[in-house]
Structure 1
Amino acid sequence: MAWVQIRFAVLADHVDSMSDFLMDIGCQSVTFTASNEQQAIYELKPGDINYWATSTCVGLFDAADDMDFVARSIANHPNMDKDFSYKIEQVEDKDWEREWMDNFHPIKFGERLWICPSWRDIPDPDAINVILDPGLAFGTGTHATTALCLKWLEAMDLSDKTVLDFGCGSGILAIAALKLGAKRAIGIDIDPKAIIASQENAERNGVADQIELYLPEDAPQFDTEVIVANILAGPLKELKEVICGYGQPGTLVALSGILAEQANDVANAYQELTELLPPEQEDEWVRINGKIK
């Protein structure tokens, strides 16, 4: 089936009404993105909804639809600015599921760790392989924040250690730690979908009997030798005492989900609780690691 999309700007206050309006005139799907990179919103909790001051709206229509009528209808909408401008684009007809799957490849971290989608052949059967598909929760290894944490875990001896994955998402870090030799992993996340995803991924990788998963309010107190928290700068600072409270003097800590320009603020927040090394950077993101005092 052939598709065409219309792209235009809309103010935050009018996003919901415009979405409903587009669906009423035959739109198949509506997406909203930031009009520019500077407007990007990184720190949202599950269930939060927040729009940019000006969003780019993209409405997808059947190519047989009258796009002149669609454009006129949008222009005449009471919430649309009189200077309304738009762009109509043909969308290439392809197998989108196949296209999506083709974007995910096995990725190697360090000398011995691979993250592999289930539909791909494992490149090195003798390596440490974590089978993990994109799904309910964040974390596939493709994002720099996750990659920084995986490289950190891969480089250390985790034998007989307990690892806390704070903000576990898909469970990728906890599962990787177990595959790398940890005896026990604990995942904590505020999103119930993350708990479900982590459990399913742990079962797929044969480590379900070594992992414990909790919402924050249900997590018991425990001590751990390794803590990795791949969340975001704001929550990292806000939850510093909670995160470090699961460790003891000498516990290794890695903090990720931090933009390069946020590194100093996060490091300063933790300076009384930890001894941190200089940040490691990948793309625009950094990981800070050290140990609890």
Structure 2
Amino acid sequence: MSDWRVLRVAVPAAQAEVIEQVMEDNGALAVTMTDAEDHPLFEPPPGARPLWPRVQIEAIFGQDEDDDLTRAACQNALAGHLGDAAPTLVSQNLADQDWTRLWMDAFKPMRFGQRLWIVPSWHECPAPNDVNLRLDPGLAFGTGTHPTTALCLAWLDGQTEWPGRVLDFGCGSGVLALAALALGSQFADGTDIDPQALTATLDNAERNGLSERIAVHMAEGFSAAPYDLVMANILSGPLVELADTLLSHLNVGGQLVLSGLLEDQAKTVMAAYRCVTFDAPAVIDGWCRLSGRRTH
């Protein structure tokens, strides 16, 4: 198999859009942007495209392209747009591979707690007698690979009494709601601000035979009878801002699970839920999960 041609450069975010356009105009098959340093970028709202302060840009060109000519054309175009500020492009060959297989091999079955598994559709279930959810990586957030999702799934697996009605607020892929149903809850509602997440949740429910026990709703304006369990794996800011909303959905005596926050944000978030008695926070790699029960 022939090599692909790659042009690479690290630039300030302000130059990223121009460079991306130049690469595409000169025949790039794909352009990717990644963090050139070490700045976390949390999940943006739908339609937003925030960038890191400094961006690593890589453009892939066809195997038949002349590397020197392509680089010269892109370099000249950048000089026309950016003048003396134009960065110098670095050229590299990229060995061809079975990219689909490489991507699939990166995702393995994962166990959470003692009996809950998230299994990609192309893998056999490692423990068929355990609770297995078929879930593939996709555009909607949440397959168990992130510590916040893992913390919530481990909490679900550790429960011995199952609430009848569950709310997954900010459902993403629906993984938390579907895990609760697979483990023993009767019915779940999922809400999100992104229609794509609702579609992903319904698709995943169908794949796991759970379509009759789940409903999805846009988060704005959502109102329903209180639930026995409310889960929200979002971010610390929304967790604080939406405290009254989340509590309005939770029965007295019901359980609350919050994640998507960092360990040093736990006290601020807990302070917004004064009617909840929290357990000790659970932490993985600096990410935190809070769980507790509403007392009044």
**TM-score after normalising by structure 2:** 0.91
Cα pair distance change 1:68/1:199, threshold 3 Å:
same
Please tell me whether residue 284 in structure 1 is matched to residue 275 in structure 2.
no
SS in 2 for 1:78: helix
Cα pair distance change 1:192/1:83, threshold 3 Å:
closer
| Amino acid aligned to 2:229 | V
| Amino acid aligned to 1:56 | Q
SS in 1 for 2:82: coil
Task: Give, in whole Å, the separation in 2 of the partners of 1:93 and 1:217.
Answer: 46
Question: Residues 261 and 287 of structure 2 are in contact (CA less than 8 Å); yes or no, is this contact kept in structure 1?
Answer: yes
Following TM superposition, by how much is the alpha carbon of 1:104 offset from its aligned partner in structure 2, in angstroms?
Answer: 1.2
Question: Residues 158 and 180 of structure 1 are in contact (CA less than 8 Å); yes or no, is this contact kept in structure 2?
Answer: no
SS in 2 for 1:219: coil
Once the two structures are superposed, residues 7-57 of structure 1 have per-residue CA deviations (whole angstroms, 9 ceiling, x without a partner) of 21233233222211111112111111222112x221411111212232111
Cα pair distance change 1:259/1:91, threshold 3 Å:
farther
| Amino acid aligned to 1:103 | A
Cα pair distance change 1:249/1:93, threshold 3 Å:
same
Question: Residues 110 and 154 of structure 1 are in contact (CA less than 8 Å); yes or no, is this contact kept in structure 2?
Answer: yes
Task: Give, in whole Å, the separation in 2 of the partners of 1:186 and 1:158.
Answer: 19
Cα pair distance change 1:61/1:126, threshold 3 Å:
same
1:21 aligns with 22
Following TM superposition, by how much is the alpha carbon of 1:162 offset from its aligned partner in structure 2, in angstroms?
Answer: 1.1
Query: Residues 1-293 of structure 1 correspond to what in structure 2 (within 5 A)?
Result: 1-38=2-39, 40-72=40-72, 73-74=74-75, 76-79=79-82, 82=85, 84-217=87-220, 219-270=222-273, 272-293=274-295
Question: Residues 223 and 247 of structure 1 are in contact (CA less than 8 Å); yes or no, is this contact kept in structure 2?
Answer: yes
Following TM superposition, by how much is the alpha carbon of 1:143 offset from its aligned partner in structure 2, in angstroms?
Answer: 1.4
Following TM superposition, by how much is the alpha carbon of 1:130 offset from its aligned partner in structure 2, in angstroms?
Answer: 0.7
| Amino acid aligned to 1:202 | A
Question: Residues 37 and 54 of structure 2 are in contact (CA less than 8 Å); yes or no, is this contact kept in structure 1?
Answer: no
| Amino acid aligned to 2:59 | G
Cα pair distance change 1:209/1:23, threshold 3 Å:
same
Question: Residues 137 and 193 of structure 1 are in contact (CA less than 8 Å); yes or no, is this contact kept in structure 2?
Answer: yes
Following TM superposition, by how much is the alpha carbon of 1:247 offset from its aligned partner in structure 2, in angstroms?
Answer: 0.4
SS in 2 for 1:57: strand
Following TM superposition, by how much is the alpha carbon of 1:5 offset from its aligned partner in structure 2, in angstroms?
Answer: 1.5
Count residues in correspondence.
291
Question: Residues 158 and 182 of structure 1 are in contact (CA less than 8 Å); yes or no, is this contact kept in structure 2?
Answer: no
SS in 2 for 1:30: strand
Task: Give, in whole Å, the separation in 2 of the partners of 1:158 and 1:188.
Answer: 24
Once the two structures are superposed, residues 175-199 of structure 1 have per-residue CA deviations (whole angstroms, 9 ceiling, x without a partner) of 1100100011111111101111111
Identity %: 40
RMSD over aligned Cα atoms = 1.9
Q: Which runs of 4+ in 1 moved over 4 A?
A: none
Cα pair distance change 1:222/1:16, threshold 3 Å:
same
Deviates more, 1:13-22 or 1:77-86: 77-86
Task: Give, in whole Å, the separation in 1 of the partners of 2:238 and 2:84.
Answer: 37
Following TM superposition, by how much is the alpha carbon of 1:164 offset from its aligned partner in structure 2, in angstroms?
Answer: 1.0
Cα pair distance change 1:158/1:6, threshold 3 Å:
farther
Consecutive unaligned residues in structure 2, runs of 5 or more: none
Following TM superposition, by how much is the alpha carbon of 1:218 offset from its aligned partner in structure 2, in angstroms?
Answer: 5.3
| Amino acid aligned to 1:230 | N
SS in 2 for 1:16: helix
SS in 2 for 1:153: helix
Task: Give, in whole Å, the separation in 2 of the partners of 1:57 and 1:124.
Answer: 41
Once the two structures are superposed, residues 107-145 of structure 1 have per-residue CA deviations (whole angstroms, 9 ceiling, x without a partner) of 111111111111111111111111111123111111111
Cα pair distance change 1:13/1:131, threshold 3 Å:
same
